[in-house]
Structure 1
């Protein structure tokens, strides 16, 4: 080996050693405080950006529209659907033949000369000869198509298409869940707007009555037992007020989160009347069951998974077959010693991975086992859907009766409070009795509102169990809130919700 070649070899070896050493020294690098702060600020600024401002009172269907347009969980599912579509497009491209272009320049510091020797006599040539230039350019464009790869790519593209449909069904499922949650949170938030002012006034009156009772007890103007009993009742009323206020206030925060409104933002709700006659389920149980088995996203998802598994069995079978490929290419070489410096090459190849033949039974067994699992899952899902349809209808009927009872109780309590108010004005009843009945009236109002909110939730749950989309026509998040609200309102009015 010449000194020059020796130095070059050492240089290459040193370079490789340094590269390997640098690769082995990579360590985890935490984000700095500035990077974390910038990252957090970016997400905080973007979480509610580009949203229509809230300009008036929000109706139920405005709330649903804002949730469909801005809810981040729904946006994640939309992105997953778009990702599945892009994966499908990528898988489809894999079916195309390969067209590969290569080009390169090669040079050396001396000629590639060599001696030659006769085969039998062993006579060596006197002068060395060469048939390649020291520097040359060579390139080619080759078209190739592997028939087996095409078949597998076609199957993988079909599976990707089913995966995209599964993503669509998951998106439908999250839509139904969001709409159901919005309906419940909206009616509870309406209760908060309707009742919190009354709770605020009652709490102040209770605190004044409690302070007065303590002054009377301290002055010795009443017996300790009577005064403390009265105080205990007042403290219990305060405790109930705090509990109910907490439950009602959180409902408006939950509704804001569903609409992707920043926590703490001020907004007002349209306060509709609560009429039980505004809700009516028109379809029978058998009709709903038939529709549910056709539309529920969970059952459709299992069906698509079964199709994917059937295609996996076809893919396993294709992989054990011999593969054939054809190719053709245009070639160019600037070596002046070549008689033909450009030419067309073509040919065909056949290959067979024999190991695939031995692994096929195991793969086929795994595919068959998965098919059995999916079939049983489909049966279990069918039973679950049937149960949910009938349970949701039974729950709706039960909550309808509960709401009726709560409404009757509330009306009786209001009449009783009116009688107590008249008795207090006439000097027949005490202020303590009035406070107690005011509290009972507010509690009855809350119970009616909660029962009505539960009924509204049960109404939405019936259609969620059926698998019906919350809208009857194609919608887009590019539509305005008012346009989405109008579509939703029409759909739910046709289904029996006419409260607005």
Structure 2
């Protein structure tokens, strides 16, 4: 009964111990969690170069490449893959294991023996082991199968590192597209928002005066209502565009990793209707896209990883051969030799893997077939994107020219209207309407130019051309990086497709 009681007590104590180690969910404290995130973000922004003046296009590009958090994620992922590759290199090395074992028992591990010939047992017990022992060994072992498999995995890891580089290239191209669009829209906002406020105030007053004239029957009701309708439509169009322009400046700040409340100004270039040249013929652009597009290069690396997987399953099905060399020492005083060198070799082969190999091979081959078919589909999509980018760029160029002509016509109308208003031959309401129409024409031209800049960046993104040249590391200061970007984009059309 006593042993059972002891076992019960031990079991109960173990249960209580395990119950006491139970882990309970610990939800985050919202306040401390928010404060920690805000502090981390402030630390990141504090390490950035401060804005010292109006920001130009290439400085905006440089700040986005240098400080954009999405880009930083890709940089860190690239570093992670490189370090994982270094780690895989250690898997190919032999194992060197040092072991120390200390043992103690309460009595001697003695024993008696029985003769196999006579069946007689020895009268006295004997021991060859001390109550307390200390043994150690240092063993060097190497498995040929593990080495072969580690080598294949290292090659796959090298391709994963290259994939992270392609993803980074893709992110940079997307950021540059977004920066060019947001920058030119934000420029339009800086140019026109103050005028919009003044003209909008005049428009509100003009609508009220028109309503007053209508109520007093000074003008025909239909004429007054027609004027109000036109003016309100222009106000609605301007308000919609104004909303887009205000958001553009915040979007640009986010791309440059500036805080939303950060107030900054932009360099306001002169308006121009010049359109850059296409970077090459359709055939040249397609050839370049097939060579440089990050998605296609990533797909090729994926196919190569799949091919290496065939090598891996082949290696896994080979016999395992392990050799070992050890230095051993034992403090047991009863041993005749307390230190010795040991060697061993072992060969093993899981024969069941031979039967699994065909099925596993077919599965990996099927995965490779999927990757190759996906690569073909992606290739066709890339060719389509190149064609669409060319057509879009050409069409946007035409829209820009049309917007410019509309603006010039509206400027002439406004000049004549102002002259007529001074001569009191044109009403104040008509002047306000033309003032608003002129601002609207300017905004539409600016937006058309922003669309053209986005289409221009999309041309180079469609062929996979890098935004930064190899000698640019991204660690340069903002001014140096901006100068390098300006040089690249100004000479781009002649350099990319040579």
TM-score, length of structure 2 as denominator length: 0.94
Alpha-carbon separation, structure 2, partners of 1:94 and 1:9: 45
Q: Which structure 2 residues correspond to residues 273-352 of structure 1 after superposition, within 5 A?
A: 273-277=270-274, 279-352=276-349
Alpha-carbon separation, structure 2, partners of 1:231 and 1:277: 37
Alpha-carbon separation, structure 2, partners of 1:413 and 1:101: 87
Whether the 8 Å CA contact 1:278–1:496 is kept in 2: the answer is no
Cα deviation 1:168-219 (Å, max 9, x = unaligned): 1011011100011101111111111111111111011112223333444555
Alpha-carbon separation, structure 2, partners of 1:422 and 1:491: 47
> Are 1:163 and 2:164 an aligned pair?
no
User: What are the ranges of 5 or more consecutive residues in structure 2 without an aligned counterpart?
Assistant: none
Which of 100, 104, 113 in structure 2 is aligned with 1:103? 100
Is the deviation greater in 283-292 or in 60-69?
283-292
How far the C-alpha of 1:312 sits from its partner, in A, is 0.4
> Are 1:266 and 2:263 an aligned pair?
yes
The alignment yields a C-alpha RMSD, in angstroms, of 2.2
Structure-1 residue corresponding to 2:359: 362
Whether the 8 Å CA contact 2:108–2:131 is kept in 1: the answer is yes
How far the C-alpha of 1:291 sits from its partner, in A, is 1.3
Which of 15, 19, 36 in structure 2 is aligned with 1:17? 15
Cα deviation 1:218-258 (Å, max 9, x = unaligned): 55655554444444443333323322211110011111111
Structure-2 residue corresponding to 1:478: 475
The 1:392–1:375 alpha-carbon spacing in structure 2 relative to 1, beyond 3 Å, is: same
Structure-2 residue corresponding to 1:389: 386
User: What are the ranges of 5 or more consecutive residues in structure 1 without an aligned counterpart?
Assistant: none
Structure-2 residue corresponding to 1:41: 38
Q: Which structure 2 residues correspond to residues 47-86 of structure 1 after superposition, within 5 A?
A: 47-86=44-83
> Are 1:448 and 2:451 an aligned pair?
no
What is the number of residues matched between the two proteins?
A: 494
Which of 128, 136, 160 in structure 2 is aligned with 1:139? 136
Structure-2 residue corresponding to 1:116: 113
> Are 1:380 and 2:351 an aligned pair?
no
- The SS at the match of 1:48 is helix
Alpha-carbon separation, structure 1, partners of 2:267 and 2:368: 51
> Are 1:178 and 2:175 an aligned pair?
yes
Q: Which structure 2 residues correspond to residues 150-299 of structure 1 after superposition, within 5 A?
A: 150-217=147-214, 221-222=218-219, 224-277=221-274, 279-299=276-296
The 1:19–1:101 alpha-carbon spacing in structure 2 relative to 1, beyond 3 Å, is: farther
- The SS at the match of 1:475 is coil
- The SS at the match of 1:113 is coil
Alpha-carbon separation, structure 1, partners of 2:9 and 2:98: 32
